[in-house]
Amino acid sequence: MVSHSQPDRRWLTAHGAEQEALHGRAAELTRSHFGRRVFVRGVVEVSNHCRENCHYCGMRRDNRALARFRARHDQLAELLIHHRPASLTDVNIQTGEDPVAVREVVVPLVRTLRRETPLGVSVCLGTLTEALYDELQAAGASLYIIKFELSDAARYEQLEAPGTLAERLRHIRLLAARGWRVSSGFIAGLPDQGADDLLANLRLARELPLDGCSVSPFIPGEATPLGHAPVGAVDAALNCMAALRLLRSEWVIPAVSALNLTGADDGYQRGLRAGANLCTINLTPSEIRGDYLLYKRERFIMNEERVLHAISAAGREVSRTSLAEHWPAKPLAIPVLAG
């Protein structure tokens, strides 16, 4: 099978036998490129301080009731060096948009992990300066996760998503040009979002210099302006995931834990059957995890047992190759950020 050059609107509304066929095509493309392998990484959520005010995120700066934290380097290093699950090949270090935590905790932690472990290191830290990007890369991180969230610039501004859409896209291109592997992502099922909006998201993702992309079903978050909006339909997110695979057979596409927050108990497994090839185990210490408020405090935590069960149930197997090993080094270019 071959990848498609452009998304088809019919993919987004597929249901029943049409959806089964769509997901089957995506699964076949995944197998042809990756075999049965699924990458397994851990995530540690280092800080819930955030300078942004996104309407869909509980960590938004206007949530004054949230207890803010920054995890300690030594606590996370001990966990990841000596107590990480055996199935992990990679770790993702994630924060709200908090440059202080990046400088004080994340950069030293990346250095420690590259020195003491064979783990591939990904980071999801928001929009930073070029100097901080370079410092993180020099420390040993190789994949930067920076989601564009939605492709409609006016709606992006209305939802107070980070900065402006144009700025976000400039940083995605900047990171790719400076030698990072870059993964992005968008939300499916936001209020008033239709098939044409999702189609535009797919087209934008297809045009960006990415190595992976995620789709997160919209989950109304606590203490947010969208807290009373309906949950996004899991089928829309799954169809978008399958569409991404049809557009880019070589991409790494995560199955996200939010798939299980839509009311679909098998959402995560369905993600793996619709073209996903990456699972994430949450390793954030339990005493701070509840305050990393992406959606709700009652989170669906993907521990190692749940991840391994989902992989097995989908007829897949754990990759022993890390994401960092999977991708060859990229040539470095010196880009211009403006434009």
Instruction: State the SS3 of 307-338.
Output: HHHHHHHCCCEECCCCHHHHCCCCCCCCCCCC
Structure tokens that stand for 191 in this block: 């209020």
Q: Which two tokens stand for residue 70?
A: 């920054």
CA distance from start to end of the chain? 37
Q: Using CB atoms within 10 Å of the CB of residue 339, give its burial: 0 to 12 exposed, 13 to 18 middle, 19+ buried.
A: exposed
Q: Which two tokens stand for residue 188?
A: 């499916």
pTM of the model: 0.95
> What three-state secondary structure class fits 184?
strand
**What single-letter amino acid sits at 315?**
G
Round to whole Å and give the CA distance between 304 and 274. 21
Structural domains in the chain?
23-326 (3.20.20.70)
Task: List the pLDDT tens digit at each of the 339 positions of the chain.
Answer: 556 778 889 999 999 999 999 999 999 999 999 999 999 999 999 999 999 999 999 999 999 999 999 999 999 999 999 999 999 999 999 999 999 999 999 999 999 999 999 999 999 999 999 999 999 999 999 999 999 999 999 999 999 999 999 999 999 999 999 999 999 999 999 999 999 999 999 999 999 999 999 999 999 998 999 999 999 999 999 999 999 999 999 999 999 999 988 776 688 999 999 999 999 999 999 999 999 998 877 777 899 999 999 999 999 999 999 999 999 877 665 544 444
Write out pLDDT tens, residues 124-171.
999 999 999 999 999 999 999 999 999 999 999 999 999 999 999 999
User: What's 70's DSSP letter?
Assistant: B
Within 8 A by CB and 6+ apart from 337, the residues are: 130, 170, 171, 174
Longest dimension (CA), the chain: 52
Report the C-alpha gap between 258 and 267 in whole angstroms. 8
Crossing angle of the two packed helices 107-116 and 73-82, in degrees rounded to 10: 20
Residue whose entry in the numeric block shows the structure tokens 């397994």: 40
Residue 240 contacts residue 12 (beta carbons within 8 Å): yes
Distance, CA of 64 to CA of 107 (rounded, Å): 28
Distance CA 294, CA 230 (A): 16
Using alpha carbons, list the distances in angstroms from residue 179 to 140, 141, 176, 211, 321.
Answer: 12, 11, 5, 12, 20
d(CA 183, CA 282): 19
Residue 68 · residue 176 · CB < 8 Å: no
CA atoms within 13 A on the CB side of 87: 23
Residue 247 in contact with residue 7, Cβ under 8 Å? yes
